[in-house]
Amino acid sequence: MYAILDIETTGGKFNEEGITEIAIYKFDGHEVVDQFISLINPEREIQPFVVNLTGINSNMLKNAPKFYEVAKRIVEITEGCILVAHNAQFDYRILSTEFRRLGFDYERKSLCTVELSKDLIPGQASYSLGKLVRSLGIPVTDRHRASGDALATVKLFKLLLDKDTTKTIIKNAIRLSPKQKLAPKHLDIIAEMPSITGVYYMHQEDGEIIYIGKSNNIKKRINQHFTNNSSKGKKLQAKVSAVTYEATGSELVALLKESEAIKRLKPKFNRALRRSVFTYALYSFVDENGYINLKVDKADGRKKAITTFSNLQSGKSFITRAVEEFQLCQKLAGIYKTKTSCFHYDIKTCNGACIQKESPETYNKRVQALISKYSYANKNMVIIDRGRDIDERSAILIENGVFKGIGFYNLNYQINNLEVLESIITTMENNRDSQHIIQSYLRKNKRLKIINFE
């Protein structure tokens, strides 16, 4: 659990500043579950430059509560939480100083989103909150007011959690969580899981991830794990101390994140060297007469595939449909073996490429249309799919036929700027598994929105 906060102060000499406004959002890694926002009477003068910056003046604070009046609420909302702030050293120092004036030692673990951003989003022109969130397409209101800045930090932290592909932030949070020291109750873990699409991570007591999975209903899938009577299932159940999850909204994003995370983190209960999720592929070649032929064959990493399939039957079904859709020749598509004309020519639905009656130029245009539709080789595009919230969408970026990664963006922000899109994208590995996942998903979901760019 995290307490994401922002504090506005009077300014002045070091350790003599007073708090004028505080905002704390209690964040469970997915959504805000509690919040506390208040002006505070600092009982001292506010520096003129601070008044100009924040708009908070002494008249506004005359009837505001003094710090000792809100101290208990601050302790309660941050209990058991890691404090998160943009330049956390400053906010934590100010908060600790105020508690020390009351004779109370206030201690919490803290995380700084400036340091995390420098590590996870390198190369930004500025890491000040305003400029950073603007460059990332994160909407911000009430800049230099505690609530507006804290809410922007919540959105920034959510993006940083996405970009933390090693799951270091989550693992450390579990390690520090006091409730994980107790023997976990599987029913309690299941009760905390949502019935949504996403990726889940099973942790042992020290926070280490021991299993990664994906589901369209995380709660149902975790329940299946905990009621599995196989020897592997029982070993996993004995080791699990906590389960965390990432909502994705999109099944495509969940599939890609699961594949990437297993390869990167190699959890001991997942197969360490996971076999490819596809075994067959569609290839093309030009015959001696100049016609492009198609063939479904066993996947071979040395050859460039148009698209890939989980099994031979899936490949055969695809090419049969493609022959109908693009009016291709059964013989040249590799599904009708004959030395003469194909069956479709005999029933007048093939134009005769099988017996050189149709010109290679005319026929090959239709084959190229198929290749263009089902292969993203050399293409620059963004696949738009569901997001985690109703006002959000996911974006899968492909540059020059290479899968670059995944990001989420708010619908109020148009992603026509490639530079902004690249900054919100979590970089992922382009491998044969990710290519297969994307191509297979595109075949099954033909209504997906795709934005092509130069």
- List, for residues 255-273, the tens digit of each pLDDT value: 999 999 998 888 988 874 4
CB 291 within 8 A of CB 363: yes
For residue range 234-244, what is the model confidence (pLDDT) as tens digits?
A: 888 888 989 99
Residues 103 and 225 in one domain: no
Residues 29 and 172 in one domain: no
Question: Mean of the pLDDT values across residues 76-91?
Answer: 92
Burial class for 449, CB neighbours closer than 10 Å (0-12, 13-18, 19+):
exposed
CB 173 within 8 A of CB 161: no
Question: Mean of the pLDDT values across residues 3-19?
Answer: 88
**Is residue 274 predicted with pLDDT exceeding 60?**
no
Lowest mean pLDDT among 62-76, 126-140, 182-196, 326-340: 182-196
**What average pLDDT is seen over the chain?**
87
Residues 362 and 248 in one domain: no
Between 29 and 418, name the one with better pLDDT.
29
pLDDT, position 33: 93
- Among 163, 195, 210, identify where a domain stops: 163
pLDDT band at 68 (very low <50, low <70, confident <90, very high): very high
pLDDT band at 247 (very low <50, low <70, confident <90, very high): very high
Is 201 within the bounds of a domain? yes
Is 332 within the bounds of a domain? yes
Is 186 within the bounds of a domain? yes
Residues 364 and 389 in one domain: no
Residues 60 and 31 in one domain: yes
Is 271 within the bounds of a domain? no
Cα–Cα distance for residue pair 79/212, rounded to 1 Å:
29
Residues 256 and 290 in one domain: no
- Output the furthest CA–CA distance in the chain (Å, rounded): 97
Q: What is the CATH number of the domain that holds 9?
A: 3.30.420.10
pLDDT, position 272: 44
**Is residue 113 predicted with pLDDT exceeding 60?**
yes
Is 388 within the bounds of a domain? yes
Residues 424 and 321 in one domain: no
User: What single-letter amino acid sits at 275?
Assistant: R
Question: Mean of the pLDDT values across residues 399-418?
Answer: 78
Residues 143 and 175 in one domain: no
Label residue 81 left, alpha or beta by phi (over 0 means left) and psi (-120 to 50 means alpha): beta
**Is residue 221 predicted with pLDDT exceeding 80?**
yes
Is 13 within the bounds of a domain? yes
CB 24 within 8 A of CB 1: no
Between 141 and 22, name the one with better pLDDT.
22
pLDDT, position 69: 92
For 350, the domain range is 280-374
Q: 432-444 vs 251-265: helix axis angle to the nearest 10?
A: 170
- Among 329, 353, 374, identify where a domain stops: 374
Sign (positive or negative) of CA dihedral 299, 383, 251, 256? positive
Lowest mean pLDDT among 94-108, 329-343, 408-422: 408-422
User: What single-letter amino acid sits at 433?
Assistant: D
Question: Mean of the pLDDT values across residues 207-230?
Answer: 91
* Structure tokens given for 411: 């619908």
pLDDT, position 256: 93
Ranked by mean pLDDT, which of 45-59, 172-186, 203-217 comes out on top?
A: 203-217
Residues 15 and 144 in one domain: yes
Question: Mean of the pLDDT values across residues 60-84?
Answer: 92
User: What single-letter amino acid sits at 327?
Assistant: Q
Cα–Cα distance for residue pair 283/305, rounded to 1 Å:
5
Is 274 within the bounds of a domain? no
Question: Mean of the pLDDT values across residues 205-225?
Answer: 92
**Is residue 218 predicted with pLDDT exceeding 90?**
yes
pLDDT band at 181 (very low <50, low <70, confident <90, very high): very low
The structure's pTM equals: 0.75
Give the CA dihedral 424, 428, 432, 433, nearest 10 degrees. Answer: -90
Residues 385 and 437 in one domain: yes
- Among 163, 195, 229, identify where a domain stops: 163
- How far the first Cα of the chain sits from its last, in Å, is 42
Lowest mean pLDDT among 166-180, 232-246, 352-366: 166-180
User: What single-letter amino acid sits at 76?
Assistant: E
**Percentage of the residues of the chain whose pLDDT score is greater than 90:** 37
Residues 259 and 328 in one domain: no
**Is residue 417 predicted with pLDDT exceeding 80?**
no
Considering its fold, how many domains does the chain have in total?
A: 4
Cα 170 to Cα 242, 397, 425, distances in angstroms: 11, 25, 19
**What is residue 38's three-state secondary structure?**
strand
- H or E stretch covering 281: strand 280-286
Cα 390 to Cα 2, 175, 249, distances in angstroms: 24, 33, 9
pLDDT band at 177 (very low <50, low <70, confident <90, very high): low
Cα 17 to Cα 61, 95, 366, distances in angstroms: 15, 10, 73
Ranked by mean pLDDT, which of 72-86, 142-156, 426-440 comes out on top?
A: 72-86
Residues 304 and 424 in one domain: no
Is 234 within the bounds of a domain? yes
User: What single-letter amino acid sits at 411?
Assistant: L
